[in-house]
Structure 1
């Protein structure tokens, strides 16, 4: 994450310095889970949201799914809808044939419809198509 810190620092050169924050609490240096918890809590800010987008964009599907499992278990409604939609979308793009992930993402998306109901239904159909060959062959 050192490259991210350098990138973000480069964007702030020449700006007036305000009160400095301790390095350990700078959103740019936090894990995806830490950022998601901030978004779900009272610490939500543009800076936290920006850092979340940056980190989730380059996170692995495993890291994203783990973050979603923890944050949704801690407070199902805590994580903003845009943040969970983005996380599920990026995880599904990395694991396009993960039937379980597709179904969980579709269920979550359907929970915040009706705008996304058609997308959620298509995700379920895709999961069913992927699962169909396995149903005839016991493992």
Structure 2
């Protein structure tokens, strides 16, 4: 069994920076998605920052990154720097999400202005 969300992601998708430890656990993406869905923001951010420390690197599939940032922003809706980080990730993975990334940047700017 995986101890953390990061451990589970590392076993399932690999790690660009560290060897994947031997594991006898199940590697089912469906179960991982369920674990990600109900993880707290700190666990999700730890996974993203450990497996993708430079935002555009790592072996996490883009769909997993997008979902992870979406879940974190739902839990922390008023953090401008987190919105900008999510926007940078969206911008770096293709034009399909540029409008969403731009909206996140505008929301972050509005929160900064209101503070």
Shorter-chain TM-score tier: 0.7 to 0.9
Greater than 4 Å deviation, 4+ residue runs: none
| Pairwise CA RMSD | 2.2
- Decide which of 13, 17, 39 is 2:12's aligned counterpart: 39
Structure 1 CA distance for aligned equivalents of residues 38 and 63 of structure 2: 17
Which structure would you say has the larger RCO, counting Cα contacts within 8 Å and 6 or more residues apart? Answer: 2
Gaps of 5+ in 2: 21-25
Gaps of 5+ in 1: 1-23, 135-139
Whichever of the two has the greater Rg, that structure is: 1
Q: Offset of 1:50 from its aligned partner?
A: 1.1
Secondary structure (helix, strand or coil) at the match of 2:77 reads coil
Structure 1 CA distance for aligned equivalents of residues 81 and 12 of structure 2: 26
TM-score (norm: length of structure 1): 0.68
Partner residue, 2:98: 117
Q: Offset of 1:66 from its aligned partner?
A: 1.2
Q: Please state if 1:52 is matched with 2:25.
A: no
